[in-house]
Amino acid sequence: MKIEIAADAEKAAQSAARLLAEHIMMAIAGRGHACIAVSGGHTPWAMLENLAQRDLPWSKLHVFQVDERECPISDKDRNFRKIKTIFPKECHLHPMPVEDAAKGAEHYARDLGRLLGKGLQLDVIHLGLGADGHTASLVPGDPVLEVTDRDVAWTEPYQGHRRMTLTYPIINRARFVFWLVDGPAKREVLARLAAGDPDIPAGRVHAARQAVIADKAAAAELAT
């Protein structure tokens, strides 16, 4: 796993946006379009805003969600509210259908399959890292951690909401996975991720190509 350490959260976001843009362009050059998945939370917005200012062939980009809370689109906790305000209108945005508790996960997996084809590989997956070791909405102790036969599934309630999330199978098949991590609260868990600790959900991501971009505060406990 490649680890890049930036001076602060702003620099980390800029580096992550540059890396994401590079992989988008490689995918478009190779396959005619790019399919990425982005996480929610607070950390990625500066990265995505920086990305949106770049001169990219936006009409060839498909943006999926890594996870989403089960709440109305009007709810401030809904990640897609922010995503749709950041990306240029030429992008193809694919919101998770969390309003459909019965069939939403199945429908989203089918939507992914239509674009990804037989290999079912996303070009890039951006992940966050929680202080408890969760990534996507793969949280400690949740039955979703054991899902091996579906690419999209529902979690149990976590911090007030059930979540729809990508599962390990599709994350581990991705062509490239990267984490953007900032802040001192992530020091211990980032060190565990870097060590490949399987006791945290993030440590069970085994995509062939992985990278971390972290600020100095988050990287303070990494071995030098």
* Stated pTM of the model: 0.95
The pLDDT assigned to 188 comes to 97
Q: Side by side, which strands form the sheet with 2-6?
A: 2-6, 210-215, 177-181, 124-127, 34-38, 61-65, 92-94
Identify any residues that bridge with 127 across adjacent strands, giving them in sequence order.
Answer: 179
CATH code of 124's domain: 3.40.50.1360
Domain for residue 45, yes or no?
yes
The pLDDT assigned to 72 comes to 82
- Closest by CA to 187, choosing from 214, 219, 155, 212, is 219
Domain for residue 224, yes or no?
no
If one counts the domains in the chain, the total is: 1
pLDDT digits (tens, 9 = 90+) for 185-199: 999 999 999 999 999
Hey, what's the torsion of the CAs at 92, 45, 221, 124, to 10 degrees? 10
Question: From the CB of residue 149, how many other CB atoms can be counted at a distance below 10 Å?
Answer: 7
Domain for residue 221, yes or no?
no
Q: Which residues of the chain have pLDDT under 50?
A: none
Domain for residue 220, yes or no?
no
Distance from C-alpha of 160 to C-alpha of 69, rounded to nearest angstrom: 9
Domain for residue 223, yes or no?
no
The pLDDT assigned to 223 comes to 61
Domain for residue 163, yes or no?
yes
Residue 209: C-alpha distances to residues 2, 5, 72 (Å): 9, 18, 35
Identify any residues that bridge with 202 across adjacent strands, giving them in sequence order.
Answer: none
Helix (H, G, I), strand (E, B) or coil at 176: coil
Domain for residue 152, yes or no?
yes
- DSSP of 80-129, one letter per residue? HHHHHHHS-TTSEEE---TT-TTTHHHHHHHHHHHHH-TT---SEEEE--
* Domain region containing 13: 2-215
The pLDDT assigned to 42 comes to 85
